[in-house]
Amino acid sequence: MQPLQTRRQFLQIGSLTIASGAIAIGSHQSLTQGTDESSLVTHQLLALTPACGTGGPTPSRTAGPFYTPNSPKRSSLIEPGINGTKLILTGKVLNRTCQPMARALVDVWQADQAGNYDNSGYKLRGHQFTDSQGRYRLETIVPGLYPGRVRHIHVAVQVANQPLLTTQLFFPGEAGNASDGLFNPVLLLRMNSTRTKNQAVFNFVLA
């Protein structure tokens, strides 16, 4: 049986820069800015390889100012002191041909119920790896709003030796979605909510 990979080991395998998640994300952003040139490359890849589903690869979004490297490995971000509406987020990490990606890093960070990030510790921050069928499952809360943004969850996804995808997930039916500068309907969670719990599904498609 193989020993579990730690996040640090994973990044050492999976990225050129490698010292920390922050550096990895920085290099990713420099590679994925929306230039005409990158659009051209995307179209060429689409012509060669059928996209997964109809939407193509999951679009990237900025990490923002609140990313903290080396988050704890855990699938539940709920702990004493975290209050709010529970949210179960599940899904898969897929490649462009819809094949599930096992052992993919899924690193999440978000605001608390009041719209605040924990910038001194790791509340509402955590990473996990997909299982053999590419699945992840996260227990968290619905994030609160903070000035200037609509409700969202930050996620970084990476398969070993592949580029890091940094993106943000959005909630359907939010009044502010249409006017949020980073909103994209492709990044909407599929929600199945009842009176007692919120369940959401999102599949990441890596380029």
First to last CA, the chain: 30
Q: Cα–chain-centroid distance for residue 111?
A: 14
Min. distance of Cβ 129 from Fe ion in angstroms?
23
3-state secondary structure of 200: strand
Strands of the sheet containing 105-109, edge to edge, are 125-129, 105-109, 152-158, 165-170
Long-range CB contacts (within 8 A, 24+) of 51-54: 51/96, 51/205, 52/94, 52/95, 52/96, 52/97, 52/98, 52/205, 53/98, 53/203, 53/205
Binding site for Fe ion (CB under 5 A): 64
Check if the beta carbon of residue 152 is closer than 8 Å to that of residue 178.
no
Closer residue to Fe ion, CB minimum distance, 111 or 159: 111
Closer residue to Fe ion, CB minimum distance, 101 or 138: 138
Closer residue to Fe ion, CB minimum distance, 94 or 155: 155
Which region, left, alpha or beta, applies to residue 160 given φ > 0 means left and ψ of -120 to 50 means alpha?
beta
Min. distance of Cβ 131 from Fe ion in angstroms?
27
Closer residue to Fe ion, CB minimum distance, 59 or 64: 64
Min. distance of Cβ 122 from Fe ion in angstroms?
16
Min. distance of Cβ 153 from Fe ion in angstroms?
8
Min. distance of Cβ 154 from Fe ion in angstroms?
6
Closer residue to Fe ion, CB minimum distance, 10 or 202: 202
